[in-house]
Structure 1
């Protein structure tokens, strides 16, 4: 075999130790050190950063479209009423109507948070 094709051994020898093998715990600790360093740097730079809200002008449009009392929220509630009635008639299960009530309450809260 020529010298250019010779493979490197998996275990390396050095003068301080007879054998040195890098274990998974060494790799994990090095990865944790790098991640912690990145977190510290980002926390330090967080106070320095300054940005303008580029989407602030569209906030009113979003509230009108998805906010409480908007066309989309009203359409979803009407669709839920029809789906609740259809599922109750189809399954004759009163829990389908209870699920409808829970969904209406959840969506009213969600649209209230959006708007």
Structure 2
């Protein structure tokens, strides 16, 4: 397949992916209003779609396929790494939240007791 046809295909795919990257932009833009894991997941999404967007000009310059493939693989690896970090952080956040709820569910200590 020729480079311009591949570039057109990637461009159309990236344009149609707005249902994923527009909400991700909103999550990143919201900042501290969103949990850290959600912002990391949004960054992973934006990194993946951004790789595709940056791949289009690379394909239009008729760079060798090895260069284009290496760039795409690097973007996929970075995006995947961010997604894994997001999942790990989400598990940590869920564990912390469960501990907070467990603390709230404890019966109150009797008056004058030093028990937690």
The alignment's TM-score, normalised by the length of structure 1, stands at 0.38
Larger relative CO (CA 8 A, sep 6+): 1 or 2? 2
Higher-Rg structure is 1
Q: Give the structure with the higher percent helix.
A: 2
